[in-house]
Structure 1
């Protein structure tokens, strides 16, 4: 399988994406993707719909998830590919993550309402229905209500550390998250390594902790990165002897710089993670 037909990181309305799982799959098929994974944040809710849509479209969709993980100096994201969505260990872990997300959302709403933002709870409820809101949902509500011009400004003004809507959350550890993925028969992938606002030394320490926990792959090709990001991520894959993955991290069709399937090919000396995923070649 050619790398140009692979996208193993994307999001839907099951978490903080703007399109339904089926619509995400449709866009992937239209982009020429043959192997994809829907990897919503801390939830498996969109997997069944996505896999059915993929079967109808004639493409392959691996069951996936993106899990938030705590380490000594902050939070990183771990993608699980090829997981058994019925695995009890993974389900219990996801349930705990959802409880943490809900607790944070409630804190954010309380703090922003104290800061003078009105009717945020009602706006969030209308946006997510019965789902668990994430910070991106809050940011969209702030934009819609005229408190910020765009998502980035909403984060910068209200949701980042030190701002009025910031609320900490106690995620599971890297060790626990990697274990859940392994227990569910999946492959743990260190997501978008160049997007964390940490030093290169801290990044290497986080990846080292991931490897010690049993993680075996890293995202090398992402959409929307800088010119040197692919080379830097590939160097990390070589340094830690990790398999290479690729994914757009698609959320929103209105963000043209991050679109499904629009990915640079992997360096030829790296081993693609999909070689270990159900015999895909």
Structure 2
């Protein structure tokens, strides 16, 4: 599915941030769509990390349920020590520069996962094959798969405990991974005809992106901010609204659904029909 296909039909409720097991969710793309439908969502975007491989399956299931499917993705970026996630919508998935950057990110993520497992294996009975058993299809192996392997091995109870303990940076097993500068990510998405939105940008004071960086991203093509997300703080949402008002940005609200991997439920935050119309109009 390409961004130059017929303009999507707009109808709510609209959830523009959901993940399948093609990245770090626990359900297939079709199952994600069915869950969204069961929770009342009628327009959704599949936004797996750094991959578009789930689009076709999700689009087919959405059509079968008379839902509207918006092609999307969540791209990894890094600003110094700060992790930045950029949601990309309605872009050309064959754009050469974008494809090359995504391949580099995915390859390094696998190497990073192997290094983390090697570190953990010094203290716990965990092996790389344990992690591979948790992968579904051709999903890129990442930390959620390591967490699931720790659960399967009986080392921790669930993903939450895994990330709060063994996979927490303070535990000593952490390894960094390659991620491009957010400015490059925004430029790549816009060059591919897509619409970039910063995901959950106000999860805490320490995680806040500097306003000067956001303004540089707006100049490069950033279209909006995911204001309504369960991890954005109240003060953070007020700060985001001030930026939105000042720069006339698109506002999105989303669940960030991951299946059993997180407590988030489809449709718990939504995007207005007017804002989705603006997003679609901006895509090339």
Mapping of residues 13-92 of structure 1, within 5 Å: 13-92=21-100
CA positional deviation for 1:74: 1.6
**Which gives a bigger RCO, structure 1 or 2 (Cα 8 Å, sep 6+)?**
2
Unaligned runs of 5+ in 1: none
- Of 171, 176, 185, 1:168 maps to 176
- TM-score by length of structure 1 reads 0.86
Does residue 113 of structure 1 match 2:121? yes
**Equivalent residue, structure 1, for 2:164:** 156
Partner of 2:3: none
Specify every segment of 5 or more residues in structure 2 that has no aligned partner in the other structure, as ranges: 1-8
Distance of 1:253 and 1:17 partners within structure 2: 8
Name the counterpart of 2:6: none
The match for 2:269 among 256, 263, 266 is 263
Superposition pairs of residues 193-212 of structure 1, within 5 angstroms? 193-195=201-203, 198=206, 200=208, 202-212=209-219
C-alpha contact (below 8 Å) 1:38/1:47 kept by paired residues? yes
| Partner Cα distance (1:132, 1:151) in 2 | 18
For 1:254 and 1:172, the matched residues in 2 are separated by 26
Q: How far is 1:276 from its partner? A: 3.0
C-alpha deviation, 1:9, in angstroms: 0.4
Counterparts of 2:197 and 2:277, CA distance in 1: 11
Deviations 1:54-90 (A, max 9, x none): 1111111111100110113421100001112222222
Counterpart-to-counterpart distance in 2, 1:127 and 1:146: 14
Whether the aligned pair in 2 keeps the contact of 1:174 and 1:213 (CA below 8 Å) is: no
Q: How many residues align?
A: 274
Shift of the alpha carbon at 1:180? 1.8
Runs of 4+ in 1 over 3 A off after TM superposition: 1-4, 202-206, 223-233, 253-256
Contact residue 120 and residue 126 of structure 2 kept, 8 A = no
Name the counterpart of 1:187. Answer: 195
User: Equivalents in 2 of 1:24, 1:244: separation in Å?
Assistant: 23
2:105·2:179 contact (CA, 8 Å) conserved in 1? yes
Q: 1:106 to 1:86 in 2, by over 3 A?
A: same
Q: Pick one of 213, 217, 225 that aligns with 2:220.
A: 213
Does residue 278 of structure 2 align to residue 275 of structure 1? yes
2:78–2:181 CA contact under 8 A, matched in 1: yes
| Structure 2 equivalent of residue 244 of structure 1 | 251
Distance 1:83 1:248, change over 3 A: same
For the aligned residue pairs, the C-alpha RMSD in angstroms reads 2.7
1:140-182 CA distances to partner (integer Å, 9 max, x unpaired)?
2222323223323212322232323200112111122112211
Contact 2:24 2:144 in 1 (8 A): yes
Q: Deviations over 1:211-249 (max 9, x none)?
A: 243211110112465566544433332244321112110
Which residue among 147, 153, 157 is the counterpart of 1:145? 153
What secondary structure does 1:272 align onto? helix
Alpha carbons 2:250, 2:275 under 8 Å: kept: yes
